[in-house]
Every structure is written in structure tokens, then in C-alpha cells.
Amino acid sequence: MSTVTNRLYRLRSRPTGEVTADNLEWTEESVPEISRGQALIRTHYLSVDPTNRVWMSDMRSYIPPVELDAVMRGAGVGQVVASLREDLPVGAHVVGLTGWQDYCVADAAREDLPFTVLPDPLPAPLPAFVGVLGHTGISAYLGVEFGDPKPGETMLVSAAAGAVGSIAGQLAKRRGARVVGIAGGAEKCRYVVGKLGFDACVDRRADDWRTQLDLATPQGIDVDFENVGGEIMDHVLGRLNVGARITLCGLISEYNDYDGTDTQHGLRNVSQLLMQRAQLRGFIVFDHVDRYAEIIGQLSHDLSQGALISEDTVVSGLENARDTLNRSIAGEYRGKVVVKVVD
């Protein structure tokens, strides 16, 4: 292996705003040797998630920030290419925190960095295991469960064309709820309604998005599946019905703004949480590992029955991961975004 290089990103400084090449250095190193209790994983697909941006900041978060000079943290799917671990045989496909690199070491002693072996043969394409059958699909499932939209109720989904929102809306639709999405651009909105089956979708890039949102939610909003935050969420708060539930899954609009001071937009319309006696629940999928198997089983079943549509955006080349993250946060993609690392 010594002639093969490991291409990777190291976090050299904490970004403000978009992630630059100075923040996240693209470099080449030698592939690590493995020792007893370790396996070497070749990354096939890297998962690109807005929450990666949180990990680069020193915001108080659900996970420690990536340390400066460390390899960038990231989820990925790959294959075992060398192994001194019986539970990770060579050739096995695995999912775990591969990091933003070609090769990583899966060390049995690192309980904080587990790798899960995928079924053989694979029941779905590899990217699905960081998407609809991975942490984004599970987030969608859990968030809908927490928000509990009932038949006839209206659930709003922000970032509706995204990895989590696209699944969440479909799950809520099957519960009999009216589902209204918010997405960036007319094309995404057509996709959300025409392909994913939402009842309506509001184009947040249109000047009249507030009016669109009002017209699309004539009976108000009972559940807000919140992925974005900021001024859109503020407007949503103004349309909550009494007893509304907010399932707080992400705050994408805030991630680039945090610099340790008071610069985040936050929310102005907080009083509506009181006035409408709303319940808000923040959740992080990694707290619910005990539910993964059950939920993946359910989502796999739905997928195989054609009852759930999941489309991935695949960007080729690990060298494009940083740019892909910036574009993802800017809302340029739809569905789950992965970087294809191996041709």
C-alpha cells in the first residue's frame, strides 16, 4: 500500500461564512498502516451534510468540533481493503465516520467511531446507506414521529427537496396530512410536488414567498418539520395553529453565520411559541441508535414497494467535497448529496 496516497482534507482554521481552501486544506499523505484490531477502509461515497459545517465551528454542539489540523470528520460508505479485525473482513461494505479521505483506519478500540457492515448482497445502492437508509432517512422518520402529523393536519417542511425534507414529507403524506414544502427555485418546487407528491411547495427565492406560504397553508400549520431556521421559520411561527409541534431537525440558514458572537439571525417571532402553546423538540439522530435497525427496516420496505422515492445527487471526485458542501448549504442540490470517491 505504500505507493498509494491518501487524499484528504485537514481543518486548518475555523471558517466564517463559506468554507475556504485555507480553512480546509486539500492534501495528500501516505496511507496509514494497520495493526492488530484495525482494518483499512477505502471510502467509496462521502456523505455531504450541512451539519459538517457545524463540526468545523467551535459552536457548542452535540459533538465536539473537529480539532484543528485533524482530518475532516464525515460519514461515508466504503469497503474493507485490509483487515486485522474479524468483524470487518476484507471485501465487506461498511458505513461509518470515514472522514473526508480516501482511506481510514477502523480501530476496534475506538468505540466512538464504529463501522457497521452492510448486508451482502446490498439491498440498495451504496449511497443509500448514508441517505434514505442512513442518518438522513432516519432523521426524517424520527422527526415525523415526533411531530406526529395527523390526517387533515398541515405539516410544513423546509428544505423540502433536501435529503431529510424530501423523505419527511413523503412519510407525512402517507399519514394523511396535508404537506407543504419550502424549497429554493421553481424547478425544485416542481420536483417536490410533481415527483415527491407534496400538496404544495413554496419557492423561497420568489419575492412573494410569504404570500405563497400563506396561500398554501389556508388552515394554518400544525407541524413544522424545521430544517432551516431564520426568517422563513419566523414566518412559519406566525402561522402556527394552537398546539402546534415543531420538530427541530436542522438550522441550515444559521450554520454559516456562527462566529462565536451574536451574529446569528435567530428568531424574532418567539412569542408565537407561547401564544399558540406550541411544543418544540430539538433532536439529533445519533441519540437514537437503538432505533436504527427498526427504522431502516421500515424505510427499506417502503423503498422496495415504491412507496418512497429517494434521489441522490452524486458529485464525482473527493477533491470537490469542500465546494460541494458550500453549494449544498446554499441550496444548489436536491436529494441526498454524496461525493463519489472511487471511480
Instruction: List residues near a copy of itself by CB under 8 A.
Output: 54, 59-62, 229, 234, 238, 242, 248-251, 254, 258, 262-284, 287
**Residue (200 or 228) nearer to a copy of itself, CB:** 228
**Residue (17 or 197) nearer to a copy of itself, CB:** 17
Shortest separation between residue 148's beta carbon and a copy of itself, angstroms: 14
**Residue (154 or 310) nearer to a copy of itself, CB:** 154
How many other β-carbons are positioned within 10 Å of the β-carbon of residue 326?
A: 18
Shortest separation between residue 278's beta carbon and a copy of itself, angstroms: 5
CA 108 to chain centre: 26
Q: Is 119 exposed, middle or buried (0-12, 13-18, 19+ CB in 10 A)?
A: exposed
Shortest separation between residue 252's beta carbon and a copy of itself, angstroms: 11
User: How many Å apart are CA 339 and CA 341, to the nearest integer?
Assistant: 6
**Residue (52 or 313) nearer to a copy of itself, CB:** 52
Shortest separation between residue 65's beta carbon and a copy of itself, angstroms: 12
Yes or no: say if 53 and 86 are a contact pair by the CB < 8 Å rule. no
User: How many Å apart are CA 159 and CA 49, to the nearest integer?
Assistant: 13
Shortest separation between residue 59's beta carbon and a copy of itself, angstroms: 7
How many other β-carbons are positioned within 10 Å of the β-carbon of residue 218?
A: 9
**Residue (129 or 141) nearer to a copy of itself, CB:** 141
User: How many Å apart are CA 268 and CA 176, to the nearest integer?
Assistant: 31
User: How many Å apart are CA 218 and CA 209, to the nearest integer?
Assistant: 14
Shortest separation between residue 75's beta carbon and a copy of itself, angstroms: 18
Shortest separation between residue 30's beta carbon and a copy of itself, angstroms: 36
Identify whether 218 is preceded by a cis peptide bond (ω within 30 of 0).
no
**Residue (109 or 274) nearer to a copy of itself, CB:** 274
The grid cell for 256 is: 454559516
Yes or no: say if 228 and 182 are a contact pair by the CB < 8 Å rule. yes
Yes or no: say if 281 and 146 are a contact pair by the CB < 8 Å rule. yes
CB-based contacts of 297: which residues, under 8 Å, 6+ apart?
none
The grid cell for 309 is: 422515492
**Residue (64 or 176) nearer to a copy of itself, CB:** 64
Yes or no: say if 99 and 122 are a contact pair by the CB < 8 Å rule. no
**Residue (16 or 269) nearer to a copy of itself, CB:** 269
CB-based contacts of 284: which residues, under 8 Å, 6+ apart?
62
Report residue 144: phi and psi, to 5°.
Answer: -70, -40
**Residue (32 or 220) nearer to a copy of itself, CB:** 220
Shortest separation between residue 286's beta carbon and a copy of itself, angstroms: 10
Shortest separation between residue 280's beta carbon and a copy of itself, angstroms: 4
CA 199 to chain centre: 23
